[in-house]
Structure 1
């Protein structure tokens, strides 16, 4: 039987609304504070994710590099290691797919930088390896996670955990967090 379109749409909106209502506002405030601190210290921010979370990581970088900029003001230095496809495939082919984020972090990240790890499950081996390397470097580690947090939740300095086991609403919320933080930072930088 073909599903009713209106019912399907309303059901998705209801599930997304429930996810939005479940987010701890204090966790998002702390996420914003981490970005304020990174900007004030001129620390770099690295954002990693797989699949839809990879596209979200790239979207975060775009929104911060362009959208959060203010004329005449220094910009936040933000990078998505997954956007360097030749390096990613070289590590994936020659070392291990688990190294595709960890090895670029070894090359570029410094103590005090921030590493944002976006994952619906919290259990992706290459994200967990990136967290391990970020810890060795002395970076601040932030998890944007769904599905209750997974293994990553115990490896980070701060998490925003989405209370859903459904990829769509989890990924939607990760992008909403981007827009909340980047628009706040734009106002913060403009002052």
Structure 2
């Protein structure tokens, strides 16, 4: 039987190093943006592609159910990646680059929050959503990896996982969801 212990250790060591290098102040700032949105009844839209779409959906679940369950004032998260028929209609009739910005044009209001998740930081459809948020007076937030790409420059608030490894980037993005949920739900005290 083959032992994978050394490879497991190497992977986990890389992940720990990246986690230790995160900008904790910026994570705290993002948490304050989200709490302010909840307390002021603002909507939070979130989007991503592939694994980032899965993370976006996980954020929606954890904030709408997990954190909001015992709260008087609830979160209003909407994952733009979850409505497959709408995304396919937009992709077919308009273009894939518009799958997130088109529903924002119908729903987003000034001071709402738009969160874009992109491992590379260069997903055109996420860029367009964040640019629209900026142009219309919403608050843009990004979770990115690698060098941050174009999205790092677009978003007002950025959680940057600075490593060229998509699996670790996606791991840490999901850790951010669970960290925020754990703290904001009051589980941490």
TM-score surpassing 0.5? yes
Aligned residue pairs, count: 188
| 8 A Cα contact 2:46 2:78, kept in partner | yes
Aligned residue number for residue 38 of structure 1: 37
> Alignment RMSD, CA only?
1.7
Deviations 1:143-187 (A, max 9, x none): 101012111111111101111010011101100110111222212
Inter-partner Cα distance in structure 2 for 1:140 and 1:175? 21
- Structure 2: 5+ residue runs without aligned partners? none
Q: How does 1:133-152 map to 2 (within 5 A)?
A: 133-152=132-151
Q: How does 1:170-185 map to 2 (within 5 A)?
A: 170-185=169-184
| 8 A Cα contact 2:39 2:73, kept in partner | no
Compute the displacement of 1:59 (Å): 0.3
Deviations 1:117-153 (A, max 9, x none): 1011111111111112112221100010101211111
Q: How does 1:12-23 map to 2 (within 5 A)?
A: 12-23=11-22
Aligned residue number for residue 5 of structure 1: 4
Aligned residue number for residue 57 of structure 2: 58
Aligned residue number for residue 118 of structure 1: 117
Aligned residue number for residue 75 of structure 1: 74
Inter-partner Cα distance in structure 2 for 1:173 and 1:36? 21
Paired residue secondary structure (1:132): helix
Aligned residue number for residue 108 of structure 2: 109
Paired residue secondary structure (2:117): strand
Compute the displacement of 1:72 (Å): 6.0
2:170 pairs with 1:167: no
Runs of 4+ in 1 over 6 A off after TM superposition: none
TM-score by length of 2: 0.94
TM-score by length of 1: 0.93
Query: Higher relative contact order by CA 8 Å / sep ≥ 6: 1 or 2?
Result: 1
2:129 pairs with 1:130: yes
Paired residue secondary structure (1:118): strand
Moved more, 106-115 or 66-75: 66-75
Compute the displacement of 1:69 (Å): 1.9
- Structure 1: 5+ residue runs without aligned partners? none
Compute the displacement of 1:3 (Å): 7.4
